[in-house]
Amino acid sequence: MEIQALSQLFPLFNTASPDTLNWIIAIATQEEYHQDEVILTADNWGKAAYFIIEGWVKLQYSSPERKITQTIMGRGDFFGEGAILEEYTENMEVVALSEVTLFTISAQRFIQALFKDSQLQHRLLQLMVKRLKILGGYWQMRHQPPVVRLVKVLVFFAENYGQLQGKKTMILQIPTADLADITDIDVEQTRKIIDKLQSNGWIEIDENNRTLYLMNIKQLINLSGKV
């Protein structure tokens, strides 16, 4: 990966110096995972930081009773950095929702990169604060009607990870159970809302390619505000 591609794809690196970016490219490795493959188990946090070049992953809490999806990430996002900076004890796993390609930096090298570049430190802090706000937003949504919660989550994924195709935006067809966990809606109701959005023409689903199209994000935002 070249410097320009690295800084454009990953917001974390868009203020880093060229020297830092060259060094990161030289020491990072690339990993590939298949759909449903476990990328990180609860015991493996803190060994590296992972950057998503292609694909979608879910972070799920693993308990003896069941696994609960906490959030979903796509192209340009990253995970694992928090466990490098502070000891991580949660029973969290990362699982590939699609074919996934990662850009991986070992924990030691990641710390070195932060020490090398103060702009990188500052940008990481900004993005970690933004992530906390997003998680807080998930909790605040739980007081809103189910359809609003689901629409807002779909719009978030489209705005942050989607690919624009004319007026519509393509994202992964996220499994219903994962959407239900994130929005705190039961699976059957989540399925009914998805069906209704599809029948009304707000979204389109391509089952064969596991993709979901948001036909017009602005209209969906407007819809969620009126419910």
Of 225, 191, 197, 175, the C-alpha closest to 60 is: 175
Q: Are 176 and 144 in contact (CB under 8 A)?
A: no
Q: What is the pTM of this model?
A: 0.91
**Cα(181)–Cα(79) distance, integer angstroms:** 19
| pLDDT digits 0-9 by tens, 106-140 | 999 999 999 989 999 999 999 988 888 877 776 77
Q: How many CB atoms lie within 10 A of CB 72?
A: 24
Per-residue pLDDT for 227 more than 70? no
| pLDDT digits 0-9 by tens, 181-190 | 999 999 999 9
| pLDDT digits 0-9 by tens, 19-60 | 999 999 999 999 999 999 999 998 889 999 999 999 999 999
**Cα(36)–Cα(43) distance, integer angstroms:** 18
The strand pairing partners of 67, in sequence order, are: 62
> Interhelix angle for 187-199 vs 176-183, to 10°?
110
CA distances 49 to 18, 46, 84, 152, 206, Å, are 20, 8, 8, 28, 32
Averaged pLDDT score across all residues of the chain: 91
- Domains of the chain are 3-140 (2.60.120.10), 144-226 (1.10.10.10)
